[in-house]
Structure 1
Amino acid sequence: MSFGQNLQFLRKMHKGMTQDKLAEKMGVSRQTISKWEMDSAFPEMETAIELCKLFSCSLDELLRGNMNSDSDAYTNIRLEELPSFRYVRYAVISGMPEDDAVKHVNAWATSCGIEQPEIIGWDFPFVSQEQINVYHMHGYAAACILPPCFHSTCTDLEIITQASQRYAVITISEPFRAAFSLIPNAYKTLMRYMEVNGLQHKQAKEILPCFEKVYETDGITNMDVYIAVASPYGL
């Protein structure tokens, strides 16, 4: 990816900054920013360093990196304030844990009378090095978000309550056409968005630090990736 493409990506990630606004910050004209983004001109070294400070990236990343990998697959990077919700979860450690975990939670929801359950999931971190290196296993947790009025005698899974929490979110279109690149890169793109906008990843026992949700819209499979943020500043 070129310097110009990286600059355009970072500018748009920074609260939707316009070329005019970036030009004002850099003390140049909007036409100069446009030329930089088209790779028809390049900033002086001191200005490039100032760009790196503004966008929280290294000079090497800005000039030679590939910051917007698979950009066509990613849409609607945003902040969402999720209200408090309750959920049950089930974790599996195996060679292919995702399907097993989701299947188990879906079956639990059906047995409890929950129609069209809202399922989320995340990597389950408590896996030994022997399980990873020798048996090629990994962990995955699936959860069913409970309807607000849900009351049931189904007690085989613990009901957990999470308080309201702000998340950085990105949508992936057709994530499973190249899952081993699109999904990890979505997390990297979100982390870049957070860095550019001064947001910190929140990790605490009482909230889910990150998770994924798969759904369909007009026959197209989408995945929303969520990362919890701790910054008090809005965008």
Structure 2
Amino acid sequence: MSFGSNLLFLRKMHNNMTQEDLAEIMHVSRQTISKWESDNAYPEMEKVFELCSFFSCSMDELLRKDMNVSGDAYSAVHIENVEKFKMARYAVISHDPEGDAINHMKMWAKDSGLLDVPGYELKIIGWDFPFVNQQQINVFHMHGYAAACILPEDFKIDCKSVEIASQDECKYAVITIKNYKESPFDTIPNAYKIIQSYMQVNGYNHREDDNVLPCFEYEYEKDGQDYMNVYIAIEN
């Protein structure tokens, strides 16, 4: 935890701005920014207020908290336009809801003939299913998760055991986690925190709309390594 590492984190989150850019905004030299980020010097209180205002953070966050939860496992956050799509989805409440929901959709994709569509590549997304009561959580240690297969536009659907839904076109703030399975209970929640910090610093608001998913995750393999993309919907 340090002011310098927090400032460096915030600067990079702000569209990867340079020390020169921040120095110009703060009316100081680039060397001063460098000293602040290396904890070799500290700004006057007036400059602290200006930094908090510019980066939309509190003084407590800037000076006391560890804002830099990122590391080598994460890509930079970027904005991605996700076009309108159709999906077959399934939600479950269980002791292993993520595994149960994803496995159900994999079996459905096979049984429905989806995997036989020429040129189709299976894509399953997932998100937390929030409609779980406290007894299910506290007493039975159960949680909820929903998974969905992205469908080709002309796919003829047998609706058994799944729900068919459509999603409008939407912009998302996105981050990629590399080898997320090594410590998923740390890396995945941190990914959401990094995106939320990025949104806060850059002035993006969450999109709250019944026609789009507020957030979702997409797991895939590449070159023998596991990846996950985390998406949070933002207003246009």
TM-score normalized by structure 2? 0.94
Identity of counterpart residues, as a percentage? 57
Give the corresponding residue for 2:37.
37
For each residue in 1:11-48, what CA deviation from the matched residue of structure 2 results, as whole angstroms up to 9, or x when unmatched? 01111211111001000011111111111111111101
Alpha-carbon deviation of 1:95?
0.9
Question: Which stretch has the larger CA shift, 183-192 or 67-76?
Answer: 67-76
Q: RMSD across aligned C-alpha pairs, in angstroms? A: 1.2
Q: Are 1:14 and 2:18 counterparts?
A: no
Poorly superposed stretches of 4+, deviation over 3 Å: none
Aligned-residue offset at 1:76 = 2.5
What is the Cα deviation at residue 114 of structure 1?
2.5
Q: Where does residue 140 of structure 1 map in the other structure?
A: 145
Query: Hey, what's the Cα distance between the residues in 2 that align with 1:155 and 1:69?
Result: 42
| 1:150 CA displacement | 2.1
Give the SS at the match of 1:24. Answer: helix
The corresponding residue for 2:234 is 229
1:127-162 Cα distance to aligned partner (Å, 9 max, x none): 01111111111100010011234234x121232111
- The SS at the match of 2:191 is helix
Q: CA deviation at 1:70?
A: 4.2
Amino acid aligned to 2:131: F
In the alignment, is residue 199 of structure 1 matched against residue 204 of structure 2?
Answer: yes
For the 8 Å contact 2:90–2:163, the answer to whether it is kept is no
TM-score by length of 1: 0.94
Work out the number of aligned pairs and report it. 230
Q: For 1:80-91, what aligned pairs fall within 5 Å after superposition? A: 80-91=80-91
Alignment partners' CA distance in 1, 2:65 and 2:186: 17
- Within the candidate set 206, 209, 216, 1:211 is matched to 216
Residue of structure 1 equivalent to 2:122: 117
Contact 2:52/2:62, CA 8 A, preserved across alignment: yes
> 1:218 Cα shift?
1.2
Do the aligned partners of 2:70 and 2:194 also contact (CA within 8 Å) in 1?
no
Deviates more, 1:135-144 or 1:175-184: 175-184
2:72 match: secondary structure: helix
Equivalent runs, 1:108-187 vs 2, <5 Å: 108-115=108-115, 116-152=121-157, 154-156=158-160, 157-187=162-192
Q: Which deviates the most, 114-123 or 96-105?
A: 114-123
